[in-house]
Amino acid sequence: MNPSDCPQSSSGLSRRSFFRYAAGASALASLPILTEAHLALAARPHFADPNKGIHIDANENPLGPSEAARQAMIDIVPRGGRYLFPMEDELAQIFAKQEGLSPESVMPYAGSSEPLHYTVLAFTSKDKPLVVADPGYEAPMWAAQVSGAPVVKVPLADAKGAAAHDIKAMLAASSNPGVIYICNPNNPTGTCTPRKDIEYAVAHAPKDTIVLIDEAYIHLCDEPRSLDFVKEGKNVIVLRTFSKLYGMAGIRMGFAVGRPDLLAKIGTLGGMNSLPITAVAAAKASLLDADLVTTRQKMIGDVRTQTIAWLKSEGYATTPSESNCFMLDVRRPGKEVQAALAAKDMYVGRIWPAWPNSLRITVGTTDEMVAFRKSFTEVMSGSTAGLELPKLPGRLAERPFTHMS
Ligand SMILES: Cc1ncc(COP(=O)(O)O)c(C=O)c1O
């Protein structure tokens, strides 16, 4: 990754001003659409050269786009002087056909962050709360700042075990929710919520509530998918992205899948601009690559299993992840361990206030995880864990990001 790819420099906003802006933007019509990259960057204990060290903090896929996707992008570049926007329709049609959906229920976006943000904006308000699991992905909570909706956080059920969404508690948490957000598998725990519980949520949510099922990581596990709720015409929006298993986080492509009237409603808020044909071509090639999902699911799953088994052998508990990330209980303030690892140029994920002694670890390559084991052993052996980082000079010393309570 080049420094220019880094959110704080590419946007022209420093990390500090970015989050100041975000935090104060509730009165504005538009708030920056926060992605995992922004959240990971803001949670780093210090400014890190993205070209240096190991970054297992943003749930990225180090494998990058597949060979077929790379070739498709190369092949389409010479035609980049043309408006080839019907390609987007073709992409939606291919996905719809593969999944047995009507093409009208599939809307392509540049990643799934945009439709996630717009769904919260469209269906929540100060009288219609957003209900989320805790710990859970924070981006919808930031969007709720714009709609002015109260955020109701419901602890994951069986936090020391399955760490699934507590669907009954989520349904009971508000009498009039605008959106119930279910991330399956969940970010940050990597855990899945049983299909019967998701069915229960869809069947028992109030009539006007949208059940927003975020399947950013669904390709990494074999759990049942939720697109059938859309086919049945339920009040459900499913989000898919090419950023995770397909390795296209920087290329940007995703789908909102829902009833056409729901998609029209979120479409009024933005995101209806045409998409880069390179991203569309890469997404199409990825969808048509028959072995990609199973091959990568196994590759990432194997590294995850080995890493978790090693941690267990060292006496550390993790969530039972089926995804490319998991929470690791470090049995002391996670912030200290995160900072001590960062001092060794090993950048691990952030800490959620509900679980202050846990860190999110993204599954990297085998080599990256071997390096992680080494750094983690050194840090936890007591030589550096808990040490304060040296004071950074000037504005670098400012820590702009505090988690929402
Ligand atoms: C749960 C979840 N949803 C959505 C996204 C959005 O990703 P993108 O905008 O890259 O598709 C992410 C990114 O990490 C995520 O973790």
Residues 6+ apart with CB under 8 A from 238: 213, 214, 215, 225, 226, 227, 229, 230, 256, 257, 258
Residue 222 and residue 306 share a domain: no
Residue 192 and residue 253 share a domain: yes
Whether 121 is covered by a domain: the verdict is yes
Residue 363 CA to residue 118 CA, distance in Å, equals: 29
Ligand 1 centre from 112 Cα, in Å?
6
- Interior CA angle at 104 toward 98 and 108, to 5°? 75
Residue 214 and residue 126 share a domain: yes
Residue 309 and residue 280 share a domain: no
Closest ligand 1 atom to residue 183 Cα is 1
User: Which range among 10-14, 32-36, 243-247, 326-330 shows the weakest confidence by mean pLDDT?
Assistant: 10-14
- Alpha carbons within 13 angstroms on the beta-carbon side of residue 254 total 24
* Residue 318 bridge partners (DSSP): 328
Residue 258 CA to residue 212 CA, distance in Å, equals: 10
For 279-304, write each residue's pLDDT tens digit.
999 999 999 999 999 999 999 999 99
Residue 22 carries which side chain, given as an amino acid letter? A
User: Which range among 218-227, 369-378, 384-393 shows the weakest confidence by mean pLDDT?
Assistant: 384-393
For 98-138, write each residue's pLDDT tens digit.
999 999 999 999 999 999 999 999 999 999 999 999 999 99
To test the ligand 1 pocket, which listed residue (33, 35, 55, 118) has its Cβ within 8 A of the most ligand atoms? 35
Report how many domains make up the chain. 2
Ligand 1 centre from 356 Cα, in Å?
23
Residue 201 and residue 330 share a domain: no
To test the ligand 1 pocket, which listed residue (116, 179, 322) has its Cβ within 8 A of the most ligand atoms? 116
Residue 44 and residue 16 share a domain: yes
The pLDDT of residue 402: 35
Among the three residues 231, 256, 288, which one is the final residue of a domain in this structure? Answer: 288
For 16-52, write each residue's pLDDT tens digit.
444 444 444 444 445 678 889 888 888 877 767 778 8
For 342-378, write each residue's pLDDT tens digit.
999 999 999 999 999 999 999 999 999 999 999 999 9
Residue 298 and residue 281 share a domain: no
Q: What is the CATH number of the domain that holds 359?
A: 3.90.1150.10
The pLDDT of residue 31: 65
Whether 22 is covered by a domain: the verdict is yes
Residue 336 and residue 189 share a domain: no
Is residue 315 packed enough to be buried (19+ CB in 10 Å), middle (13-18) or exposed (0-12)?
exposed
Residue 157 and residue 169 share a domain: yes
Looking at residue 104, the DSSP 8-state letter turns out to be: G
Is residue 291 packed enough to be buried (19+ CB in 10 Å), middle (13-18) or exposed (0-12)?
exposed
Q: Is pLDDT at 184 greater than 60 in this prediction? A: yes
Looking at residue 30, the DSSP 8-state letter turns out to be: -
Whether 404 is covered by a domain: the verdict is no
Closest ligand 1 atom to residue 112 Cα is 11
Residue 139 and residue 107 share a domain: yes
Residue 214 neighbours by CB distance under 10 Å: 27
The pLDDT of residue 25: 44
Whether 405 is covered by a domain: the verdict is no
The pLDDT of residue 345: 94
The pLDDT of residue 10: 32
Closest of 86, 90, 88 to residue 98, by C-alpha = 90
Residue 197 CA to residue 403 CA, distance in Å, equals: 29
Ligand 1 centre from 113 Cα, in Å?
6
For 74-109, write each residue's pLDDT tens digit.
999 999 999 998 999 999 999 999 999 999 999 999
At 392, the pLDDT band (50, 70, 90 cuts) reads low
Closest of 367, 240, 363, 225 to residue 297, by C-alpha = 363
Whether 103 is covered by a domain: the verdict is yes
Better-scored residue on pLDDT, 85 or 167: 167
Residue 359 and residue 336 share a domain: yes
Ligand 1 centre from 36 Cα, in Å?
6
Residue 280 CA to residue 217 CA, distance in Å, equals: 20
The pLDDT of residue 393: 57
Whether 403 is covered by a domain: the verdict is no
Residue 173 neighbours by CB distance under 10 Å: 16
Among the three residues 273, 288, 303, which one is the final residue of a domain in this structure? Answer: 288
Task: Quote the pTM value.
Answer: 0.89
The pLDDT of residue 172: 98
Q: Is pLDDT at 11 greater than 60 in this prediction? A: no
Residue 263 and residue 308 share a domain: no
Q: What range does the domain containing 358 cover?
A: 3-63+292-397
Among the three residues 288, 309, 326, which one is the final residue of a domain in this structure? Answer: 288
